[in-house]
Amino acid sequence: MGNSINDRTFDAIVIGSGISGSWAAKEFCERGLKTLLLERGKDVKHIKDYPTANKLPYEFEYRGNIPLQVRKENPVVTKCYAYSEATDHFFVKDNEHPYVQEKPFDWIRGYQVGGKSLLWARQTQRWSQFDFEGPARDGFAVDWPIRYKDIKPWYTKVEKFSGIAGDKDGIDVLPDGDFLPAFPLNAVEKYFKESIAKSYKDRYVISGRCAHITDPQPTHTEQGRAKCQHRTLCERGCPLGSYFSSNASTIPWAVKTGNLTLRPESVVHSVMYDENKGKATGVRVIDAATKDSIEFYAPVIFVNAAAFNTNLILLNSTSNRFPNGLGNDNGLLGKYVAFHIYRGSISGEFEGLKDLTVEGRRPTSGYIPRFRNVRKQETDFLRGYAAGFGAARHNEHNTEGFGLTLKQNMLNPKLGPWKVHSHMMGETIPKESNYVALDTKKDEWGIPLIKISVDYDYNDEKMIQDYFEQMGEMFNKAGFINVKTRDSQQAPGLDIHEMGGVRMGRDPKTSLLNKWNQLHSCKNVFVTDGACMTSTSTQNPSLTYMAFAARAANFAVNELKKGNL
């Protein structure tokens, strides 16, 4: 890349190469825009940069475990279930990128080309009309400026390209998508599904919809992606490209158009605003290695640095016109942050179907769509929760004895009982008191640290209790025994679904973005990652970010062509 202003001028700039940013970049490149994709982390090339993908357990120094010293130095990231010796290189270490916890918040990050798309659990569900209507119905947070019908065609577009496995379940609270064949439920999961169907009119157990290719279509083959082999080593990077990641799918696709310039190790400092033009002109970047400051220019800028970092970049983008951050006329930038509650889980055992077991692996499990307060307020807490559900049967090894006896015992394991498990995925209410802001301390690139002040409230505690009661009842009705509930008491954040701070809305007085994800007061800057979310509902959010990114990018291209940006 040269040094003249021409070399640093593009048709569009996208900040962040993760799930949402790579979708925006792909759409721009396909529509003919010369696009700069800025990424603060190192490059990760599909297949070549998956160093642990094919390693066997004994090839890891610690057999995949995390040494005590690493845990001590990184108390937050080492809590993440997907963090291990095999995935360490894709996670941000606490001690390398500090942040300020005004209240405890476990912030899980992936700074590299592809962002967290390499690490995610790939669960993908559409929102329904009830989810978009939620805030208007109960009056908490502001009304969404769109409804399901506005986003529906974009869900279809991203599902077809990404490859989503799922059944057409015909449930109005969780609309069907354009699916590849689902991963089947096992015998006890099917039994639970039938038991729930007998006992409840509005509760369902379905196969967890997930971004895995189970029957490659021509569009997937063209991307160089193949059928999932059920290895379930996904978080190491999948050499087959069978699950959706930016690295396997959207980025190489954008590269093929000849319109993409990908610039890793480029830490975005701020978005630049020109008062005379009344719009943003470009982006200021600090080179991660040299610490040089460089400016890039474009008429359209998408901020997709993942929810909190997007807030950080906008808060740090100050000018005479916007002294408190870009687009922040109402002082609400950084506020009304929300997340998902993953604290509650429940387990049990099943004594039936003893002649059956499970074989092989499956990169998803069962899913129970939300059933509380969906159509109307019916409990003494607001909103609701979805739940994961899984059943499994494992070999139990007898470790008694010594020498030959121990060997014989170990070589002849007995099949244990069926174990069943569920975890909640609850919606929290966005509140002004849950916020992120700039701290006075700066990082090594001269950018203020982010300060996070987010907590649970009374509504959340009631919801957790309701999950225990309802799921406990459902387990009891199915005849599960030894049922135990567990509140992990974990701090917010480990759900890795933080959202809000730059929310969409109808009114510029109470929101930052309009229905096209444009800043109300700076129309050529768009936000389509989790920061844009007005409310969280209970679905895993990334599919919705992808759909927003594709929709807004195509709108931006049309507006650009009309001369409106």
Ligand X SMILES: Cc1cc2nc3c(=O)[nH]c(=O)nc-3n(C[C@H](O)[C@H](O)[C@H](O)COP(=O)(O)OP(=O)(O)OC[C@H]3O[C@@H](n4cnc5c(N)ncnc54)[C@H](O)[C@@H]3O)c2cc1C
Per CB under 6 A, residues contacting ligand X are 15-21, 38-41, 80, 82, 108, 110-112, 115-117, 119-123, 266-268, 304-306, 309, 313, 496, 529-530, 540-542, 545
Choose the stretch contacting ligand SF4; rule: CB under 6 A; options: 113-121, 235-243, 302-310, 464-472: 235-243
Please give the torsion angle defined by the CA atoms of residues 227, 229, 234 and 237, in that order, rounded to the nearest 10 degrees.
-60
Q: Least distance from C-beta 563 to ligand X, angstroms?
A: 29
* Residue number with the smallest Cβ distance to ligand X: 18
- 550 contact, one of ligand X, ligand SF4, none, CB 5-8 Å limit per kind: none
Amino acid making up residue 237: G
277 near ligand SF4 (CB under 6 A): no
The reply on whether position 243 binds ligand SF4 by CB under 6 A is yes
**Site of tokens 């069943």:** 420
- In whole angstroms, the minimum distance from the beta carbon of 27 to ligand X comes to 14
CB of 481 to ligand X, least distance (A): 30
Contact pick of 240, 288, 358, 483 for ligand SF4 (by CB under 6 A): 240
| Type of residue found at 395 | N
Tokens 């993409």 map to which residue?
A: 260
Residue 17's binding partner among ligand X, ligand SF4, none (Cβ under 5 to 8 angstroms by kind) is: ligand X
Q: Does 47 bind ligand SF4 (CB under 6 A)?
A: no
Helix (H, G, I), strand (E, B) or coil at 265: coil
- Our CA angle for 368, 370, 373, nearest 5°, is 155
Among 84, 128, 214, 242, binds ligand SF4 (CB under 6 A): 242
DSSP codes joined into one string, 45-61: -TTTT-TTTT--GGGST
- Dist CA 379 CA 341 (whole Å): 18
Site for ligand SF4 in 369-428 (CB under 6 A): none
- What burial class does residue 349 get, using C-beta atoms within 10 Å of its C-beta: 0-12 exposed, 13-18 middle, 19+ buried? middle
Residue 102: closest CA among 443, 501, 450: 450
CB of 316 to ligand X, least distance (A): 9
231 counts as binding ligand SF4 under rule CB under 6 A: yes
Q: How far apart are CA 547 and CA 157, in angstroms?
A: 8
The values of phi and psi at residue 425, to 5°, are -135, 90
Smallest gap from residue 498 Cβ to ligand X (A): 9
Shortest distance (Å) from residue 244 CB to ligand SF4: 9
Nearer to ligand X, 117 or 187 (CB): 117
**Alpha-carbon distance values, 4 to 7, 132, 280, 297 (Å):** 5, 46, 20, 11
Cβ at position 181, least distance to ligand SF4 in Å: 14
Task: Choose the contact partner of 530 out of ligand X, ligand SF4, none; CB within 5 to 8 A by kind.
Answer: ligand X
How many other C-beta atoms can be found within 10 angstroms of the C-beta atom of residue 395? 10
Residues 234, 230: Cα–Cα separation, whole Å? 9
- Which tokens belong to 558? 């049309």
Q: How far is the CB of 20 from ligand X (least distance, A)?
A: 3
CB of 120 to ligand X, least distance (A): 4
**Residue 115 binds: one of ligand SF4, ligand X, none (C-beta under 5 to 8 A by kind):** ligand X
The option from ligand X, ligand SF4, none interacting with 430 (CB < 5 to 8 A, set by class) reads none
Site string for ligand SF4, 205-224 (x = CB under 6 A): -------x------------
Residues numbered 354 to 373 that lie near ligand SF4 (CB under 6 A) are 363
Nearer to ligand X, 121 or 368 (CB): 121
- Choosing from 45, 72, 230, 291, the residue that interacts with ligand SF4 (CB under 6 A) is 230
List, as one string, the DSSP characters of 204-245.
--EEPPBSB-SS--HHHHHTT---------GGG--TT--B--
Residue 231 touches which of ligand X, ligand SF4, none (CB < 5 to 8 A by kind)? Answer: ligand SF4
Please report how close the Cβ of residue 232 comes to ligand SF4 at its closest, in angstroms.
5
Q: Which is nearer to ligand X, 126 or 523 (CB)?
A: 126
* Contacted entry of ligand X, ligand SF4, none for residue 514, CB cut-off 5 to 8 Å set by kind: none
Q: How far is the CB of 228 from ligand SF4 (least distance, A)?
A: 3
Q: Give the whole-angstrom CA distance, residue 14 versus residue 138.
A: 35
| Residue among 92 and 478 whose Cβ is closer to ligand X | 92
What residue 80 binds from ligand X, ligand SF4, none (CB within 5 to 8 A, per partner kind)? Answer: ligand X
Q: Is 134 exposed, middle or buried (0-12, 13-18, 19+ CB in 10 A)?
A: buried
Using the rule CB under 6 A, give the single segment among 41-49, 125-133, 229-237, 392-400 that binds ligand SF4. Answer: 229-237
Which of 200/297 has CB closer to ligand X? 297
Q: How far apart are CA 305 and CA 324, in angstroms?
A: 19
Would you tell me how many other CB atoms lie within 10 Å of the CB of residue 151?
19
Residue 234 interacting partner from ligand X, ligand SF4, none (CB closer than 5 to 8 Å by kind): ligand SF4
Site for ligand SF4 contains 130 (CB under 6 A): no
Backbone dihedral region for residue 283 (phi beyond 0: left; psi -120 to 50: alpha; all else: beta): beta
497 vs 484: CA distance, rounded Å: 26
Residue 398 DSSP class: -
Neighbours of 455 (CB within 10 A): 15
For the chain, counts of helices (H) and of strands (E): 11, 21
Q: How many residues does the chain have?
A: 565
Shortest Cβ 349–ligand SF4 spacing (Å): 27
Among ligand SF4, ligand X, none, the one that 232 touches (CB under a kind-dependent 5 to 8 A) is ligand SF4
Q: Which residues bind ligand SF4 (CB under 6 A)?
A: 212, 228-234, 238, 240, 242-243, 363
